[in-house]
Structure 1
Amino acid sequence: MHRFFVDKCQVQEESAYITGEDAKHLEKVLRLKVGDIIELVVGEELEYLGEITVVEGKSTQVKLLELKQVQRESPLEITLYQGLPKASKMELIIQKAVELGIKRIVPVMNQRSVVQLKTKKDQQKKQERWQKIAYEAAKQSKRIKVPEITLPMEFNRALDNSFEEFQIVAYEDEEKKGIKDLTFLHGNKDQEVSRATIGLWVGPEGGFAEQEIESLKKIGANTVTLGPRILRTETAGLALLTMVQYESGDLGG
């Protein structure tokens, strides 16, 4: 069943209106028509079943049929600080991280990053592309909220803007401490998990510079190993996110 997001201002009484690119996609690509049933997320809060009643150019009218009571968002609010990788790897990371329940992704230009987006124009162009990928992934995975993809940041700026209660760093030179050693992730499994805020840090292809690791440790970040094998940057972030979600989030039931 196709899924669309609308703002609260696009709802009037028992009807909602899909406009812009979504309306065009609905009619021209998906070829949906009057009488078709779709899913509609209103204001990233409420999920409805709706019936298309009018399809006309730039606007589609949908009658709201049923409010669905489904909890789809993770109890953890996780931000991925991802070192900028080469080629299209960032698109894969964003798509899969959204499916796994990420809250926010901050693309980071590290000291050893091969990719450096110097101009504001280049940064905005990439961010717009990445945000669109997050939007489509949120629809496919039936998310209620579309994760935010920020503009790329230099490492020091990303560090200054990190606000999460707990910080975890995937570090290839860490030999002793792993996810299982982080006591804040392990509580009473019978109790409801609190909405902890967690920052996950993953370096680019060249890894973190020693100075960056020291800066992370100064803010109380925990460096962890992801196992005996070295993971590519596009694998490490997703593996780390999966482990954290499994331990204290909603993966695994």
Structure 2
Amino acid sequence: MNRFFVNAADVHLPTNEITIAGEDVKHISKVLRLSEGDLVEVCDGEKYGYIGKIKRISKQEVLLSIEEQMPLKTEAPIEVILYQSIPKATKMELIIQKTTEMGIKSIVPIITSRTVVQFKDDKDKEKKVERWQKIAMEAAKQSKRGVIPSIHFPLSLKEALQKAQENDLNIIAYEKEASQGIKGLLTSLVTENIKKIGIWIGPEGGFEEEEIDLAKDKTIHSITLGPRILRTETAGFTVLSILMYVLGDLGG
């Protein structure tokens, strides 16, 4: 069954109806060729999922009658934020797609000393974020997520470090870290109190030592991912997989 996302305000419980608007209208009518009486899944992006039956299709909206309401059960018990140094080419798109499938809550693109990607201006950044957000939405639909991960406006490392102080735990992957791994770190912590975690991944050339020192000053834990050097598009998957297995819902 096809899944769509709406705002909570588009769910009208008094009339037992849901309104779908925007690009999904054309997708429903022209691409999927659905019609009155067909069933679709809808998520409000917050607490509930719905089975809706198509009542009416117009150029502006699709009106559904609510056939069933159920609480969302596809979101992990921990909130993981990926602070990803922006990589070259389409690597960022791959990172967004796969981490969305694995349960990431949000992604903050960061600009570091060795970030190669350059933006012309804020408008260029906004265009990129719009593209990345669309990729997250499509991945969320495909993987039956109940929430679409939010893709933030690109930040400098210092800006991101400041905002990350609200997280319960922050870990930064660093190839020169020799002693502390994720397993050892988690063993030393009271994990029951950890609900919001930040993962920090460097660009193709890695973080500079000064950036690692800056992160440590903000109580971010430096970790090793083993004796092999992982690509920037692989490192985030690896850390997220481990966290979701140990603290989340990966593996049941």
Instruction: Provide TM-score, normalisation by structure 1.
Output: 0.93
Residues 185/83 of structure 1: CA separation in 2 closer, same or farther (3 Å cut): farther
Match of 1:230 in 2: 229
Match of 1:199 in 2: 198
Match of 1:211 in 2: 210
The answer to whether the Cα contact below 8 Å between 2:87 and 2:232 also exists between their aligned partners in 1 is yes
* Alpha-carbon distance in structure 1 between the residues aligned to 2:11 and 2:111: 40
Deviation at 1:59, TM superposition (A): 1.1
Deviation at 1:186, TM superposition (A): 6.8
* Alpha-carbon distance in structure 2 between the residues aligned to 1:166 and 1:215: 16
Residues 148/70 of structure 1: CA separation in 2 closer, same or farther (3 Å cut): closer
Deviation at 1:58, TM superposition (A): 1.7
Structure 2 counterparts to residues 56-205 of structure 1, below 5 A = 56-162=58-164, 163-183=166-186, 196-205=195-204
Residues 184/157 of structure 1: CA separation in 2 closer, same or farther (3 Å cut): farther
* Alpha-carbon distance in structure 2 between the residues aligned to 1:185 and 1:87: 38
- Gaps of at least 5 residues in structure 2 are none
The one-letter code matched in structure 2 to 1:8 is A
The one-letter code matched in structure 1 to 2:74 is R
2:251 matches 1:252: yes
* Alpha-carbon distance in structure 2 between the residues aligned to 1:194 and 1:136: 32
Provide the secondary structure at the position in 2 that maps to 1:161.
helix
Residues 233/138 of structure 1: CA separation in 2 closer, same or farther (3 Å cut): same
Match of 2:55 in 1: 53
Deviation at 1:25, TM superposition (A): 1.1
Deviation at 1:15, TM superposition (A): 1.0
Greater CA drift, 13-22 or 206-215: 13-22
* Alpha-carbon distance in structure 2 between the residues aligned to 1:42 and 1:154: 32
Q: C-alpha deviations, 1:160-192, integer Å up to 9, x for none?
A: 22121111011111122111101368768xxxx
Residues 173/186 of structure 1: CA separation in 2 closer, same or farther (3 Å cut): same
The one-letter code matched in structure 1 to 2:11 is V
CA RMSD of aligned residues (A): 1.6
Match of 1:7 in 2: 7
The one-letter code matched in structure 1 to 2:198 is G
* Alpha-carbon distance in structure 1 between the residues aligned to 2:4 and 2:220: 38
* Alpha-carbon distance in structure 1 between the residues aligned to 2:8 and 2:188: 35
* Alpha-carbon distance in structure 1 between the residues aligned to 2:46 and 2:155: 26
The answer to whether the Cα contact below 8 Å between 1:27 and 1:55 also exists between their aligned partners in 2 is yes
Provide the secondary structure at the position in 1 that maps to 2:198.
strand
Greater CA drift, 150-159 or 177-186: 177-186
Deviation at 1:131, TM superposition (A): 0.7
4+ aligned runs moved over 2 Å, structure 1: 183-188
